[in-house]
Structure 1
Amino acid sequence: MTTKANKPLYIGLAGFGTVGGGLARLLVENADLVRRRAGRDIIVKKVLVRNLSKGRAVPLPETAELTDKPEVLLNDPEIDVLVELMGGIDAPRALINEALDRGKHIVTANKALLAEEGGELFRKAAEKNRILRYEASVAGAIPIVESLKESFTGNRISSLVGILNGTSNYILSEMTTNGLDFDVALRQAQELGYAEADPTLDIDGHDAAHKLTLLIRLAYGVHYPYTAMPVRGIRGLSAMDIRLAREFGYRIKLIAQVRERNENGVARLEAGVFPALVHHTLLLARVGGVYNAVRVDGNAAGSLFFHGRGAGDLPTAGAVLADLVAVARDEAPNNTGFAATELPRASIMPPEDWRSRYYVRLMVRDAPGVLRDVAGCMADEGVSLAQVIQKSDEGKGVPFVFMTHETTEHAMRAALQHTVDAGMLLEPAVYFRVLGGE
């Protein structure tokens, strides 16, 4: 006799690409372990794809029926869970909405959908008392979602900083280690399959921003609109800045960061994605290749560092499978980590008020008085220089490079505008925030 305790968990899988194929493989290879952990089998019953005749790198599970019609999956009352691995926003949103209406649980890796329109889906899941799990949406194999939902619940989190995009990290690692120019490193990443043919989401910082939006929700219990987040990527970053940063003892990384700032008793979040100089003594500076990392600082736990593979078939599929095991155990829904169905909007600190040290590179003419004139422009806005390097002529002028003491984004931009107005620059100024090594 089949009871709920030993009835298999049947899933409908939407998407059978890299991660979907990895999930199918793990369900076979780890079947005994899954059964021991979950107390029952997890079986793929239907697989939704766009093209029925397309060749598959991984064999379809023997139990599964292939379909290109969403209603075939949605109308099957035996399917307990929709696993959405399609990507995109519009079609997955419609599919997940309908699946929730049909009483199905959801497991997804879709960070873009959850970051941009997750509020509506989380509300509906709460109304239907359904599970909506998404460990695979952030940092691949790193269990950061579950850690923030469960393990950090006794902490007030002061900051979270991470490397959340493997493509950008690979490019920066190759530029740093092998001296490659940006375009060469990007092309190499594409040839190795680490970067898409259109790498916009990765190199312009939007993929990391989607992931940071989800982590903010989990860490602080607030809705930080993705559209309100300042995002700056690494497109066209110069090998000269990689080299000069190393002379100061830093590595340039694409950083996703949120910090809680308290001013006059008011707590506000400072969050964004941006290239930054990370001091070589920090673990984040040593994260190479396509790996991801997250550092979380809590008032009880102190600083904890997570590091691992941020993408790929099996790392991401393993996170999906962990979510499925949780559903198979009949765990109660805990979709955002907070009891409230409607999370409040974050109190946001404007980017111009952020405080940081800065790395600045100005291309100037090799003429007497440059240091005096630049220092004067900085002093007019209260920006003081901490370290200065003036290099020899490189064909387009002399790189005048300096590190500042802590200042605001507003003051930094205003000071650089003074150098433009004075006609000092031969090309636009380059400046990055600095993490660590204070």
Structure 2
Amino acid sequence: MRVAVLGCGTVGAQVVRLLREHGTDLAARAGGPLQLVGVAVRDAAAPRPPWVPTELLTTDAATLVRRADVVVELIGGIEPARTLALAALAGGASVVTGNKALLAAHAAELHGAAAAAGTDLYYEAAVAGAVPVVYALRESMAGDNVTTVLGIVNGTTNFILDEMATRGVGFEEALARAQELGYAEADPTADVDGHDAAAKAAILASLAFHTRVSIDDVPVEGIRAVTAEDIADARAAGYALKLLAVARRGTDGGARGISVRVAPTLLPLTHPLAAVHGAFNAVVVEAAAAGRLMFYGQGAGGAPTASAVLGDVVAAAAHRVHGGNAPRESTYAELPLLSPEQTLVRTQVQLGLADRPGTLAAVAGVYGRHGISIASARQGAAADGTARLTIVSHPASEAAVARAVADLAAEPSVREVRSVRPVEGE
């Protein structure tokens, strides 16, 4: 099987290394030899690890694609990755990709091209690195009905929030530490603003609920506004604050459809995701028959991600040798996205209140007018005439919560709406 690798960055270089070092074992698993026929790069003269054969480097990715049986796309971004992947599929090659942005935007087109050509499209490495959650949702859980997916799917933001929680530092200092250790890029926008997690959330929701979900369907809030004080307050109330990708199917008692979001979210300290530290990823899947399952491991890094890539390469190569295909796109459910009026959420709202009699009653009245039941309320010590009030609600519609927050902001006794956070895991 002729294998072409597009891109030779952190992951691509490790794919090349493992292909060369473990070629005999990989061939035995695939049913035939795996021959690396080329590595497409932007600059063939750029320095690279010693195990990358210089004679296999090429800047002509289009020609390389035509020579391959399995194309490993690790370029990232939309173009030229999309054009090269479609060309590979049209030419009869199978495609293995770790490109979550491409899949979140063009999954339907890529799946359609693979089906038309009778080839494979694999993408385990696109979500959570070495953690095999794509395989689990696409194949292992094909006989079950998934109801909820909760995921810490971005190691950079988890590291930053963990630094803020354990060391009490602010966002900027934690980000600088993440950049120093190589967890965050020089431009961390995609990570800290939640776009990377949103792309992965779209992929997970599509797989879990057999419905096409794109990144444009995922409301996103990043972590730039999170403070060390927010995290300390959350812990004092028994919660951890995590950037969470949440995908949920409407229950039988509610509207038929799905909701997806990415936001800093409160989790009880007893929840398994609350114990995920550093740059690790974890995904909790809840299903009707299997109950709760958790997938945990390294969500980034060259070797861990290359492990997921090569698992897909072996599967695609085995199909070329023995016949068969990867699972096709499953969109039979065609579930609609729930509107804010239909989407139920528990929330924690933090307010700065005038420290005088009657303010709690005024706040409770706002909640009551919008039909939102209060689960708990905790008032902190007053400073400079302002008291802090933290309210956790029972589930209510996102729209009702938004209206209540707007009314709270206009309430004379409320000096500040400090934060509004979803609460999961209760």
Q: TM-score, structure 2 length as denominator?
A: 0.94
Corresponding residue for residue 15 of structure 2: 23
Match of 2:45 among 40, 47, 53: 53
> Structure 1 vs Structure 2: percent identity of aligned residues?
40
Task: Using the TM superposition, give the Cα deviation of residue 80 of structure 1 relative to its aligned residue in structure 2, in angstroms.
Answer: 0.8
Corresponding residue for residue 60 of structure 2: 69
Query: What is the one-letter code of the residue matched to 1:56?
Result: R
CA RMSD of superposed structures (Å): 2.0
Query: What is the one-letter code of the residue matched to 2:325?
Result: P
> How do residues 299-338 of structure 1 correspond to structure 2 at under 5 angstroms?
299-330=288-319, 332-336=324-328, 338=330
Deviation by residue 1:375-416 (Cα, 9 ceiling, x = unmatched) = 222222122333222222456943222222222222222122
Task: Using the TM superposition, give the Cα deviation of residue 30 of structure 1 relative to its aligned residue in structure 2, in angstroms.
Answer: 2.4
For structure 1, the 5+ residue unaligned runs are 1-8
Corresponding residue for residue 214 of structure 1: 203
Task: Using the TM superposition, give the Cα deviation of residue 300 of structure 1 relative to its aligned residue in structure 2, in angstroms.
Answer: 2.0
Match of 2:123 among 122, 127, 134: 134
SS of 2:80's equivalent in the other structure is helix
> How do residues 401-420 of structure 1 correspond to structure 2 at under 5 angstroms?
401-420=390-409
Deviation by residue 1:14-39 (Cα, 9 ceiling, x = unmatched) = 10000001111212332332133223
Matches of 1:425 and 1:153 in 2, distance apart?
50
Query: What is the one-letter code of the residue matched to 2:60?
Result: K
Tell me if the contact between 1:161 and 1:295 (Cα under 8 Å) persists in the aligned partners: yes
Corresponding residue for residue 119 of structure 1: 108
Task: Using the TM superposition, give the Cα deviation of residue 95 of structure 1 relative to its aligned residue in structure 2, in angstroms.
Answer: 0.8
Task: Using the TM superposition, give the Cα deviation of residue 263 of structure 1 relative to its aligned residue in structure 2, in angstroms.
Answer: 5.1
Task: Using the TM superposition, give the Cα deviation of residue 320 of structure 1 relative to its aligned residue in structure 2, in angstroms.
Answer: 0.4
Matches of 1:410 and 1:392 in 2, distance apart?
31
Deviation by residue 1:34-61 (Cα, 9 ceiling, x = unmatched) = 1332232322111110111111135314
Q: Measured at CA, do residues 354 and 429 of structure 1 come closer, stay the same or move farther in structure 2, by a change above 3 Å?
A: farther
Corresponding residue for residue 196 of structure 1: 185
Match of 1:10 among 2, 10, 18: 2
Tell me if the contact between 1:223 and 1:343 (Cα under 8 Å) persists in the aligned partners: no
SS of 2:270's equivalent in the other structure is coil
Corresponding residue for residue 142 of structure 2: 153
Corresponding residue for residue 4 of structure 1: none
Corresponding residue for residue 366 of structure 1: 355
Tell me if the contact between 1:363 and 1:396 (Cα under 8 Å) persists in the aligned partners: no
Query: What is the one-letter code of the residue matched to 2:243?
Result: L
For structure 2, the 5+ residue unaligned runs are none
Tell me if the contact between 1:21 and 1:58 (Cα under 8 Å) persists in the aligned partners: no
Matches of 2:351 and 2:362 in 1, distance apart?
12
Corresponding residue for residue 133 of structure 2: 144
Corresponding residue for residue 220 of structure 2: 231
SS of 1:429's equivalent in the other structure is strand
Tell me if the contact between 2:203 and 2:214 (Cα under 8 Å) persists in the aligned partners: no
SS of 1:430's equivalent in the other structure is strand
Tell me if the contact between 2:409 and 2:416 (Cα under 8 Å) persists in the aligned partners: no
Q: Measured at CA, do residues 14 and 409 of structure 1 come closer, stay the same or move farther in structure 2, by a change above 3 Å?
A: same
Task: Using the TM superposition, give the Cα deviation of residue 337 of structure 1 relative to its aligned residue in structure 2, in angstroms.
Answer: 5.4
Query: What is the one-letter code of the residue matched to 2:79?
Result: D
Task: Using the TM superposition, give the Cα deviation of residue 129 of structure 1 relative to its aligned residue in structure 2, in angstroms.
Answer: 0.4
Corresponding residue for residue 32 of structure 1: 24
The answer to whether 1:297 aligns with 2:271 is: no
Matches of 1:299 and 1:263 in 2, distance apart?
12
Q: TM-score, structure 1 length as denominator?
A: 0.91
Corresponding residue for residue 244 of structure 2: 255
Corresponding residue for residue 382 of structure 1: 371
